[in-house]
Every structure is written in structure tokens, then in C-alpha cells.
Amino acid sequence: MKISILGGGGFLGRKVAEALAANGRLGAREVTGLTLFDLHPPASLDAPFPVTCLGGDITTLPPEAIPPETEVIFHLAAVVSAAAEADYDLGRRVNLRGTDAVIDACRALAKPPRVVFTSSVASFSGGQGAMLPDDARQMPRNSYGAQKAAAELLLSDASRRGFLDAVNIRLPTIAIRPGLPNKAASSFISAILREPLLGLPTTLPVAEDFKVWIASPGFATAWLLHAASMDSAPLGVDRGVNPPGICASVGAMMDAMESVRPGTRALVTPAPDATVAAIVGEWPAAFAASRAPALGFARHGTLAALVEEFLAHDLEETRAMRDR
């Protein structure tokens, strides 16, 4: 089985690539080749199969990014929330026209591939009081969310037409994201845990009772791999999946961190930011996510386990990145 990861240089693309390299398989099938594509060529990795690393613009996707006989494509490439809001043209070009390019590449393949697309909770609205059912309408109040919802529709229609076989995963906000802060409006959700666990001070732009819908990198990776190998027939025409994340207040998140590493909570200082609060405040705080477990998506663990996952798998790598 040949696999391509678009956005293979991002942290989540890397997690998926490392999991494939460690197992050598996707589901019950052996991986025979992996292509990693991003704006700049991603770093290679040791694997029991050939790995090709390419750089380029997803809107003019080179044929080598999705080679002939590719059976699975992870479409993770995107301009993130605050960046897409600040630069409308860039967000629309990458998030929409990039998806168009992926669909066109799939149409050129002899066999329709499985396409796992990372959509987002930002494609919904509802705010702090929301508990959205699986059939809730996507009514985004930000350009990033609108672009993700539109891309979902394009991929679902391409599935209907037989060009590809899409599974659209509406990922919760990922925490704790390793590495450096990014330009997402939700970046603080990882920062309030990651920075103190590194022994560094950070700020909190929202109130402690502010609730978020989150998932750890480990669970997000597992959901993406499951989406790539699952039977998609039960999805029917509805190709969107809300995976079962955690609804938690940022205060509860910091309490969990403190329970694992005492003294870390004191490194977080309140610093209200109206711009950030306006963007993330529109996102729903919780989803029912009752459909996903029936489709085989694992339920999330506890907040303390989320902190421990970062300490076990990402702390030292993140510290090394800061020291470079």
C-alpha cells in the first residue's frame, strides 16, 4: 500500500508517519511506500519501506506528491485559524484551492484512494453553552472554519462521484501540541500546559472557566489512522466524523497539570486578549460525539493522562527544539 501525507512536515503529519514507520502496516495491510509533502521538504525517517520527501505548493500539487497506485492520502495541509483570519487570500488559496488540487490528483489515479481530511471544530459555532449533536449544521463564524466546511463539502461530493473515498475528521483542538507555538487562535490551549511543563512562564488570554473541546496528539493520530483503514460504507453520504474528545475548562486543565507536576500552575499568568477570545469563543465547547465510537473511534482518556502523554512522548523533543 502506498500512502501520501500532505502536510507531512507538521507535527501531526509527523506523528502519523512515525506510527506507520513503527508498525510497517496500516490496519491489516503492509505499507510499501510513503510520500511526505509540505511547503518545504519534511525530514525523512527510518522505516521498513521507502520514504520520499518533497516540498512545494499544494495549490500546484506536483504529481510526485501523490504517486500512481497511492491508496491512502492524509490531507493535513492547512493555513491555521488566526492566520487564515488575518490573511483571507492565503487561507482561501491553501485551504480551498489546495483541496481542489487534491481532488484533481485523485481523479488522475487509476483507483479512487481513501482521503482522510483534517477538518476542525472551528467549522461549527455555538460558543460556551453548546453541546452539538452529530447532525448539527456547520455554521462557522471565522474564515478558517468556513474554508474547512467548504472543503468537506467538496470532498464529500467527490466521494459521491467516485473520485475518492473521503473521511472528514473534525478534530478537536490538539493539546498538548509539541514544539513551538503556532499562529492558531487556540495556540494558548497547549501553551498553558506545555510552557509550564518546560519550566517556562506563559499567559492565559481567557477566563479560567472557559471551556474547550480538546484531544491529545496520541488520540488524534490514532483516529486518523483508524479513518484511513476503516470500512467507510457505514458513513453513507455523511462523510463527517466528530471524534470523542474531552470538554474541559482551562482551569481544570491546569489543575490536572498541577496534580501531575506540582508548582507548574503558578507559571500561568492571566492576560485577557479580546481578539483571541472573540475567535475561540464562537467555537462549540462540547460535542455529543455519539456516532464516532460506533464507527470504531476510541474514546479519549483523562486530562491527567493527556499531561502524562506529553511528558512521556514529547517533552524532551520539545525541550531540544527550544535549545537549538
pLDDT digit string, tens, across residues 254-300: 999 999 999 999 999 999 999 889 888 989 999 999 999 999 999 99
Q: What is the pLDDT of residue 324?
A: 67
Domain ranges of the chain: 2-172+216-243+288-299
Tens digit of each residue's pLDDT (9 = 90 or more) over 206-253: 999 999 999 999 999 999 999 999 999 999 999 999 999 999 999 999
Tens digit of each residue's pLDDT (9 = 90 or more) over 119-128: 999 999 999 9
Q: Which of 37, 117, 144, 213 is catalytic?
A: 144
Q: What is the pLDDT of residue 279?
A: 86
Task: Give yes or no for a contact between 214 and 174, defined as CB atoms under 8 angstroms apart.
Answer: yes
Task: Give yes or no for a contact between 264 and 253, defined as CB atoms under 8 angstroms apart.
Answer: no
Query: Identity (one letter) of the amino acid at 169?
Result: I
Say whether 204 sits in a helix, a strand or coil. Answer: strand
* Residue 88 annotated as catalytic: no
Please tell me the number of Cα atoms within 13 Å of 248 on its side-chain side.
25
- Cα–Cα–Cα angle for 82, 153, 64, nearest 5°? 80
Q: What is the mean pLDDT of residues 166-172?
A: 97
For residue 184, what pLDDT band results from cuts at 50, 70 and 90?
confident
Would you identify the CATH topology of the domain 2-172+216-243+288-299? Answer: Rossmann fold (3.40.50)
Residue 232 CA to residue 206 CA, distance in Å, equals 39
Q: What is the pLDDT of residue 31?
A: 98
Backbone phi and psi for residue 38, each to the nearest 5 degrees, phi listed first? -155, 180
Q: What is the pLDDT of residue 87?
A: 95
Residue 73 CA to residue 36 CA, distance in Å, equals 10
